[in-house]
Amino acid sequence: MSKIINAIIIGLLGGGSFIGGIYYGLERSEHYLESVMEEYEVISDKVDTFVDVSNPKTIRLYTTELRKILDDVTFLGKMVESGQTSAESLDEFFSVYEDMIDDVNNRLVELSQQHNESITKHNLHIAGLSEDSDDLFEITEDLQKKLQEQSDYISQLNVELGQSINKVEEDVQTIKSSKYGKKIWKIKK
């Protein structure tokens, strides 16, 4: 009888350990997926910020400013031809607008570099997320297979344990109904 109880306890401890291991594995997988999603949100926010900076309206604004500068330069060119302004005032005017044009050009180059860097980083992160998702999917499939195998094994153990208990009960009934069993039973009472 104690062997049966020991077998039951061992079965329960084994099943409990297995379920605990599966639970731990799933918790770790969930934690990993959360960290991947947080990284994805950060990348997404950066891409959204970049999209705002590279918005066609912003580019149109810069283009409009450049056209105004060109119009002013054209106007100054006409003034020089007509002789209405001196060379000194033209030099000062060109110096100011040249600095402005350089500033706009530098901003455009900087935005272009940031755009290219953001796209490269975004593509790398997406590739990494894709690989991580594939790995996580494979791990999940493996866990599901192992869970099914363990479930089948536990079901088989339950069937065998039930059969063993029935056999022991039959043996106990056989012993109780035997001549010696009736004597032992009378002594116990």
Backbone CA torsion sign across 27, 33, 36, 41: negative
Q: Residues 128, 37: contact at Cβ < 8 Å?
A: no
Instruction: Classify each residue of 111-130 as buried b or exposed e, where b means 16 or more C-beta atoms within 10 Å of its C-beta.
Output: beeeeeebeeeeeebeeeee
Which two tokens mark 56? 């066609």
For residue range 42-72, what is the model confidence (pLDDT) as tens digits? 888 888 777 766 777 777 777 888 888 888 8
Range name among 38-47, 75-84, 91-100, 169-178 with the lowest pLDDT average? 75-84
Contact (CB, 8 A) for 66 and 144: no
Neighbour count for residue 142 (Cβ, 10 Å): 11
Q: How do residues 109-168 score in pLDDT, each as one tens digit? A: 887 788 788 878 877 777 776 777 777 778 888 878 888 888 888 888 888 888 888 888
Q: What is the mean pLDDT of the chain?
A: 78
> Token pair for residue 119?
């796209």
**Residue 176 to residues 3, 4, 14, 134, 168: CA-CA distances in angstroms?**
20, 19, 34, 62, 12
User: What pLDDT does 68 receive?
Assistant: 86
